[in-house]
Chain A
């Protein structure tokens, strides 16, 4: 009996040996590092999908290559793409997914559904929006990195560390899309195709899966402060009654507190943004070892920021979408008041006040 079983096991093992269904060697794969989505030029209804991959063969004329196809969605495009290349496509290492602004304004959920379903598609691949066509950005040769994906990946992370843009992954996007009370926001890349340079300091605001607005520079930073993602970065405020001189602080961290209340059917949202910062620039020659002086700096900064924050909130109210996620807090604190389908209108009617609280810690080593 036992011998028979051993033989059987051996037999099964040998049978298995002859066929390894899933073994796909690394070099037999087409490793995609970036996927770009554009509106097709020929047919505006269709999508133009570009994938970029390294050629890996030594001595090949190019280190990397791109393939483009037209299709209604990524799911359908996969077949077309596969037919254009000679190795099996693997999306397992996709780091960055690029959408053109044109497409983003039309809505992108259709195209990401197949990414969500595929278990091997990394949930942490970054989403970015670009002002030109995605394929242009993919063709861009970054000066200090072989792949544009690596470059964008690091650049977005760096911008995020300097409180300029949010950090949106496939999972984040999906999460913000399907959670009531928050709308997605993506980093928006300004690509200057003539100067061959990239700036990442804008944020694309979404309503559901459609892009509705772009906010830039200071406002983008204010948006990040409102979201509570206070990391590093610099804020410069003009000194009142003194145009020649500046006051700059360098952020070291912070957080935000959101309080909500309902009075007479009116929703009040009070937000406090606490910013820890060091003094990084004060161009006047006055000595600053003075508590009152520092306090006045904080006041100047707070006034400047409060203005900025309220403009940003107004901008979002204008778009009728809540990208900050106030809805989450309203839902948590006033579950009866919150209605998920009408949150945009409720947000519009709500009284939103954001106050900043700047706390300057260090003043620098010489002045």
Chain B
């Protein structure tokens, strides 16, 4: 039976009935502990039962704050005669837990004990008490592993969702910062927080996102990728329509642009939406470094994007079609290198690219220390051996190496996938039609990107549709004191601060 169904099942007044029912549901769930407490009642000893999941609770807290006060309770002299048992209100006074809530159905009980709370059953009450005793071992806050920066805060999100919201709250001390709780996955029952700035976010967007989140039909959610696919419109597009970040400062900066952050329990990354294409090239560092260098690095990332997609294709086109474009001083060396290789340039390029992709996958799977070694050794040894064995020309190896380096310029790892993917059709088209093939493929890519939108916001904005206000902070950024307007993702006519004229 699903928890959602059990939510419709109320508790009975009889504690024994409730316990049997629960024991039945939780049969063989050895991690769930039932502990009986007998306390001195008004007339006779009062029977109670607490229920919690071992490992998710702070057992010291349970002992100190729940069991000890109940056991040691000595009833006051003036005994109420009418009551056989203490009512729930009295019990609440005895227990020293910071958060107490009454719940009245089996579904909620299960949900609470699985999220680390303790549930206390009283005899004769239709309600049970939900006591906050969460306390499981979690990773301490660490430096983000992928989005490193040299300057700026070094904390990253952790698996514990509460700590994550705390990190955001610490940065934005504003009541307009709303953290809306939701629940996804019929079986995993994962917590999900929708975080937004109430007076900046576009309300239409917000309701749409919440509606979409509610409509998600899935049994379990273990990572943000699960809900990403349900939320986005163009699942088959290689380009991500949401951004992932493990940096609270980045998440907060996006909140201030009217974007929505989705945090998922147990996932140390936050989802940012809506986004545009140029955002994928931005890193918090850009705003920390001096304006000129911040812009320079952004420019380099854009160039890297173009190089990573088209360089092998350009090489193939030059070698098989437009040799007259190669400077004469180079052409003899190129030809000498090529003459020993038995494959046509396409096959050579595809083989080498495939090798690089294999290496990348392999080094990612291995433990990080070995992974790096494998990566470097693999690249050097394979490259060297391929040249020695006349399987590839040295130029090809250089081209592939530059391409591989260039494809990592994007600040977030998962956004490098479109680059790696698009390279292959580009190579094939270049081998068929030379430079014209590259033109055609770029046309396809650009038109595809023009047709994309992220939650209603054009993907290539602010370039297309052109928006001079927004170009302030896209491929290049202007000084921060000029960025007083918020992007169009925010509510209309929303400014960061009033500009003094």
Contacts and interface: CB of A to CB of B under 8 A. Distances in A.
B464 interface: no
28 contacts: A20-B320, A23-B431, A24-B321, A24-B323, A25-B320, A25-B344, A25-B345, A26-B319, A26-B320, A26-B323, A26-B334, A26-B338, A27-B335, A29-B323, A29-B335, A31-B335, A54-B332, A56-B339, A57-B339, A90-B323, A92-B323, A92-B324, A93-B328, A93-B331, A95-B328, A146-B332, A149-B328, A150-B329
A281 to B, nearest CB: 36
Contacts of B474: none
A25 B345 CA distance: 7
Contacts of A72: none
Contacts, number: 69
B432 interface: yes
A56 B431 contact: no
Interface in B417-457: 428, 431-434
A90 B320 CA distance: 12
Nearest to B338: A27
Interface string A190-221: 00000000000000000000000000000000
A301 to B, nearest CB: 40
A29 B345 CA distance: 14
Given A26-B326, A29-B323, A122-B324, 16 more contacts: A16-B432, A20-B320, A22-B321, A22-B434, A23-B432, A24-B320, A24-B321, A27-B339, A29-B335, A31-B331, A33-B328, A54-B335, A56-B336, A57-B336, A90-B324, A93-B324
A56 B393 CA distance: 14
Contact size range, B:
20 to 34
Interface string A65-98: 0000000000000000000000000101101000
B340 interface: yes
Interface of B: 319-321, 323-324, 326, 328-329, 331-332, 334-336, 338-341, 344-345, 428, 431-434
Contacts of B432: 16-17, 20, 23
A168 to B, nearest CB: 19
A14 to B, nearest CB: 11
Contacts of A90: 323-324
A33 B332 CA distance: 10
A58 interface: yes
Contacts of B320: 20, 23-26
A90 B339 CA distance: 16
Contacts of B324: 90, 92-93, 120, 122
Contacts of B332: 31, 54, 56, 146
Contact of B328 (A17, A56, A120, A150): A150
Contact of A25 (B319, B326, B328): B319
Q: Which of B321, B332, B432 has the largest number of chain A CB atoms within 10 A?
A: B332
A193 to B, nearest CB: 25
B392 to A, nearest CB: 13
Interface in A1-49: 16-17, 20, 22-27, 29, 31, 33
Given A17-B432, A20-B432, A93 B323 contact: yes
Closest 9 CB pairs of A and B: A92-B324, A27-B339, A27-B338, A23-B320, A56-B335, A54-B332, A26-B319, A56-B336, A26-B335
Nearest to B335: A56
Q: Which of B334, B336, B345 has the largest number of chain A CB atoms within 10 A?
A: B336
Contacts of A120: 324
A17 B324 CA distance: 24
Contacts of B434: 22-23
B351 to A, nearest CB: 15
Nearest to B319: A26
A120 B338 CA distance: 22
B360 to A, nearest CB: 26
A24 B432 CA distance: 11
A31 B326 CA distance: 11
Contacts of A92: 323-324
Q: Which of B324, B338, B340, B428 has the largest number of chain A CB atoms within 10 A?
A: B324
A27 B318 CA distance: 12
Contacts of B431: 20, 23
A92 B331 CA distance: 11
A56 B324 CA distance: 16
A46 to B, nearest CB: 29
Contacts of A33: 328
A205 to B, nearest CB: 29
A16 B339 CA distance: 26
Contacts of B328: 33, 93, 95, 149-150
A303 B341 CA distance: 66
A202 B85 CA distance: 123
A144 B336 CA distance: 20
A47 to B, nearest CB: 24
A150 B330 CA distance: 12
Contacts of A31: 323, 331-332, 335
A120 B324 CA distance: 7
Nearest to A58: B336
Given A31-B323, A58-B336, A23 B331 contact: no
A17 B344 contact: no
A57 B339 CA distance: 7
B389 to A, nearest CB: 15
Contact of A26 (B329, B331, B428, B433): B331
B341 to A, nearest CB: 8
B387 to A, nearest CB: 13
A95 B433 CA distance: 26
Q: Which of A24, A56, A57, A150 has the largest number of chain B CB atoms within 10 A?
A: A56
A115 B429 CA distance: 30
Nearest to A19: B432
Nearest to A153: B328
Contacts of B336: 56-58
A54 B329 CA distance: 12
Nearest to B428: A17
Interface in A112-151: 120, 122, 146, 149-150
Nearest to A64: B332
A56 B330 CA distance: 12
Nearest to B316: A23
Nearest to A119: B324
Contacts of B340: 58
Contacts of A24: 320-321, 323
